[in-house]
Chain A
Amino acid sequence: MNKIRNILDLKKIKEQTLNKRESQKIILRTCNTGCRARKSQKVIDVLDSAINEKGIQDTVKIIKTGCHGFCEMGPIIVVEPESIFYRKVKPEDVHEIVSQLTEGGVVERLLWSDPVTKGRIPFERELPTYKRQKKEVTYKCGRIDPVDIEDYIAADGYSALGKVLTSMSPEEVIRTVIASGLRGRGGGGFPTGIKWKMCSEAPSDIKYIIANGDEGDPGAFMDRSLMEGDPHSVIEGMIIGAYAIGARQGFIYVRDEYPIAIEHLSMAIRQAEEYGILGKDILGTVFDFNIKLNRGAGAFVCGEETALIISIEGRSGTPRSRPPYPAIEGLWGKPTIINNVETFANIPLILSKGSDAYASLGTERSKGTKVFSLVGKVQNTGLIEVEMGTTLREIIFDIGGGIRKGKRFKAVQTGGPSGGCIPITRIDMPVDYDSLREAGAIMGSGGMIVMDETSCMVDVARYFIDFLMYESCGKCVPCREGLRQMHYILENICRGDGEEGDIETLIEIGQFMMTSSLCGLGSTAPNPVLSTIRHFRSEYESHIYDKKCIAGVCKNLFEYFIDAGLCNGCTLCRLKCPEHAISGEKKKPHLIDSSKCIKCGICFNSCKYEAILVK
Chain B
Amino acid sequence: MNFKAIDNILEKYNHHHSDIIGILQEVQHIENFLPEGTLRYISRKMEISLTKIFDIVSFYKAFSLKPRGRHIIKACCGTACHLGGALQNLDQIQRILNIKEGETTADRMFSLETVNCLGACALAPVVVVGDEYHEAMNVGKMEKIIVACRQEEGDS
Binding site for B on A (CB under 8 A): 34, 36-38, 71-72, 74, 215-221, 224, 255-259, 294-300, 311-317, 373, 375-377, 381-383, 413, 416, 447, 449, 451, 455, 460, 463-464, 467, 470-471, 473, 576, 578, 600-602, 605
Contacts and interface: CB of A to CB of B under 8 A. Distances in A.
Interface stretch (B4-12, B79-87, B104-112, B148-156): B79-87
A376 B125 CA distance: 10
A314 B21 contact: yes
A313 B20 CA distance: 9
Given A376-B79, A601-B85, 13 more contacts: A37-B133, A220-B119, A297-B63, A298-B61, A311-B21, A314-B19, A315-B52, A413-B79, A460-B79, A463-B79, A464-B79, A601-B88, A605-B138
B125 to A, nearest CB: 11
Interface in B10-28: 16-22, 24-25
Contacts of B17: 314
B95 A578 contact: yes
Contacts of B126: 37
B119 A451 contact: no
B118 interface: yes
Nearest to A318: B59
Contacts of A72: 122
Contact of A257 (B60, B95, B115): B115
B83 A377 contact: yes
B135 interface: yes
A602 B88 contact: yes
B117 A294 contact: no
Interface in B62-117: 62-63, 77-83, 85, 88, 91-92, 95, 115-117
Given A314-B19, A316-B56, A373 B121 contact: yes
30 contacts: A34-B120, A37-B123, A38-B123, A71-B122, A216-B117, A218-B77, A218-B81, A218-B117, A218-B121, A219-B79, A220-B119, A257-B117, A294-B22, A297-B21, A297-B24, A297-B60, A312-B18, A314-B19, A314-B21, A315-B52, A315-B55, A316-B56, A375-B122, A376-B124, A381-B121, A381-B122, A464-B79, A467-B116, A600-B92, A600-B139
B88 A316 contact: no
Contacts of B135: 37-38
Contacts of B138: 605
A37 B133 CA distance: 5
A317 B61 CA distance: 12
A455 B121 contact: no
B80 A376 contact: yes
A602 B79 CA distance: 20
A449 B79 contact: yes
Contacts of A314: 16-21, 56
B28 to A, nearest CB: 10
Contacts of A259: 131
Q: B52, B116, B133: which has the most chain A beta carbons within 10 Å?
A: B116
A315 B131 CA distance: 28
A297 B62 contact: yes
A313 B122 contact: no
B83 A451 contact: yes
Contacts of A317: 59-60
A297 B61 contact: yes
A287 to B, nearest CB: 25
B3 to A, nearest CB: 22
A255 B88 CA distance: 26
B124 A375 contact: yes
Contacts of B124: 375-376
A569 B111 CA distance: 39
Q: A37, A224, A299, A311: which has the most chain B beta carbons within 10 Å?
A: A37
Contacts of A221: 119-122
A215 B10 CA distance: 28
Given A219-B78, A256-B62, A449-B83, A602 B121 contact: no
Contacts of A449: 79-80, 83, 121
A295 B119 contact: no
Interface string B14-44: 0011111110110000000000000000000
B116 A218 contact: yes
Nearest to B74: A257
A513 B63 CA distance: 30
Contacts of A605: 85, 138
Contacts of A316: 55-56, 59-60
List the 7 closest pairs (A to B, CB-CB), nearest first: A218-B78, A71-B122, A37-B133, A297-B60, A221-B119, A298-B61, A218-B117
A250 to B, nearest CB: 15
Contact of B120 (A37, A311, A313, A451): A37
B78 A455 contact: no
A295 B122 contact: no
A219 B79 CA distance: 5
A91 B20 CA distance: 43
Contacts of A294: 21-22
A295 B78 contact: no
A315 B24 CA distance: 12
B75 to A, nearest CB: 13
A309 to B, nearest CB: 11
Contact of A375 (B22, B80, B134): B80
B61 A299 contact: yes
A16 B58 CA distance: 52
Contacts of B95: 578
A221 B140 CA distance: 27
Contact of B83 (A373, A376, A382, A576): A376
Contacts of A299: 59-61
B43 to A, nearest CB: 13
B114 to A, nearest CB: 9
A473 to B, nearest CB: 8
A602 B139 contact: yes
Q: B16, B85, B120: which has the most chain A beta carbons within 10 Å?
A: B120
Nearest to B57: A297
Nearest to A464: B79
B119 A224 contact: yes
A64 to B, nearest CB: 17
Contacts of A447: 79, 121
Q: B80, B85, B88, B139: which has the most chain A beta carbons within 10 Å?
A: B80
Contacts of A602: 88, 139
Contact of A219 (B52, B61, B121): B121
Given A449-B83, A463-B82, A605-B138, A295 B117 contact: no
A256 B16 CA distance: 20
Nearest to B59: A316
Given A36-B133, A224-B119, A257-B117, A218 B85 contact: no
